[in-house]
Amino acid sequence: MEVVVQITFGVIAVFILVAAAMVVSVRNVIHAALWLIACFFGVGALYMLLEAEFLAVVQVLIYVGAVSVLILFAIMLTRQITGEGVRQLTNRWPVVLAIATLLFATVLAPTLINQQWNVPPAPPLGTPEPIAGPAELGRGFVNEFLIQFQVVGVLLTVALIGAIVIAYEERARRRKVLTLAEELELKRLREQTSPTVPAPVEAEPVVQESRSASER
């Protein structure tokens, strides 16, 4: 059984690494997003291997089911970023490669090799289970990790506010939407009055940008 677990872990780990490498190396952004999803699935599988089913399912639910869908959605709504013809690397990539290899060889690899890996023995009977299931997790949230839980709430509120601030144009600044009939009518009227100067119809900026003085 131990061997099976080891092999499974190896397969999943290689899969995650390959997927992650593909995310940054494929040119097509949608394909990159798909590899990212594959990578998330791999992480979920790792959780499963650790017998943390709750985390595994939540990983799929949140990262695959929500985050990646939003990423795909954003890519689809953005025109012309399919990424074909975009250079993946700058001219200086050999330098970066050299530095990365050097750091890996001198810092990371020796550390990991020399580390005394101390596999914890099986816990004696009666020790409390580490937090894994939904019920214990919920209890942890309202007892030990109450402050952190509350801070997460504030943080998410802030993120929500931020998203609105970035995305939402106040109505006063929005471009007016005309129906087709109105546009035609407008065009006709404009041709009557000034056939040479087609000015765009935009809502007038209501207040001067307070920094307008500093804009060059």
Partner 1 sequence: MDWLTILIIVIQCFVITLAVTTAFAYLTLFERRILARLQNRVGPNRAGPAGLLQPAADAVKLFFKEDIVPAMADKPVYLLAPAVAVIPALIIWAVIPFGCLNLNWDYQACYDPARTNLWNILQITDLNIGVLYVLAVTSIGVYGITLAGWASNNKYSMLGGIRSSAQLISYELALGCAVLSVVMTYGTLSTHEIVTQQQGGLWGIIPQLLGFVLYMIAATAEVVRAPFDLVEAEQELTGGYNTEYGSMKFALFFMAEYIKLIAVSALAVTFFFGGWHFPGLDILGREVTALAGPVAGSIVFGIVSLGAFLLKVVVFLFISVWVRASWPRLRYDRLMDLGWKWLLPVGLLNLVYTTVVIILIPDRVVHSWVLFGLGAITIAIAIGFNRTPKPIDNVTLVKDIQLPN
Partner 2 sequence: MFQLTDIPRLLPEILLLVLALLVLGSDILERWGRTPAAQLERVKSSASLTAIGLGMVLFVALLQSGYIYRLPETAPVNFFTNIIRNLQSGGPGGEPIAGAFATDHLTMIARLLIIGAALVTSLLCLDVRPSAHPGEFYALIIFSTLGMCLMVGANEFLLAYLAIELTSIPLYLLAGYFRNDPRSAEAGLKYFLFGAISSAILLYGMSLAFGAALNGVGSATNFNDLTRFDRIGTFTASSGGLITLAMLFIVAGMGYKLAVVPFHSWSPDVYEGAPTPITAFISTASKAAGFILLFRLLTKTFPAMTGSPTLDTAGGWTAVLAVLALLTVVIGNLAALPQTNVKRLLAYSSIAHAGFVVLGLLAWAAAQPFDREQGLTALLYYLFIYSLTNLGAFGALALIGQQTGGDDLTHLRGLSRRNLPLALLFTVCILSLAGIPPLGGFFAKFYIFMVGWQSGATWLVVIAVVMTIVSLYYYLRLLKAMFIEPATDLTPVSLPRGIGAALAIAVVGVLVLGIFPNLILSVLERV
Q: Which residues bind partner 1 (CB under 8 A)?
A: 28, 30-31, 34, 37, 53-54, 57-58, 60-61, 64-66, 69-70, 72-73, 76-77, 133-134, 171, 174, 176-179, 181-182, 185-186, 189-190, 193, 199, 201
Structure tokens of 210? Answer: 């307070």
Q: Which positions from 138 through 157 interact with partner 2, judged by CB under 8 A?
A: 140, 143-148, 151-152, 154-155
Q: Does 84 bind partner 2 (CB under 8 A)?
A: no
Round to whole Å and give the CA distance between 216 and 207.
18
Residues 6+ apart with CB under 8 A from 131: 137, 140
Contact partner at residue 64 from partner 2, partner 1, none, CB < 5 to 8 Å by partner kind: partner 1
Phi-psi region of 20 (alpha: psi -120 to 50; beta: other; left: phi over 0): alpha
The secondary structure of residue 144, as a DSSP letter, is: T
Contact partner at residue 193 from partner 1, partner 2, none, CB < 5 to 8 Å by partner kind: partner 1
Structure tokens of 117? Answer: 């890996």
- How many CA atoms lie less than 13 Å away from 48 in the CB half-sphere? 14
Contact partner at residue 107 from partner 1, partner 2, none, CB < 5 to 8 Å by partner kind: partner 2
Q: Does 90 bind partner 2 (CB under 8 A)?
A: no
Phi-psi region of 83 (alpha: psi -120 to 50; beta: other; left: phi over 0): left
Binding site for partner 2 (CB under 8 A): 107-108, 110-112, 114-118, 120-121, 123-124, 127-128, 130-131, 140, 143-148, 151-152, 154-155, 158-159, 161-162, 164-166, 168, 170, 172-173, 206-211, 213-216
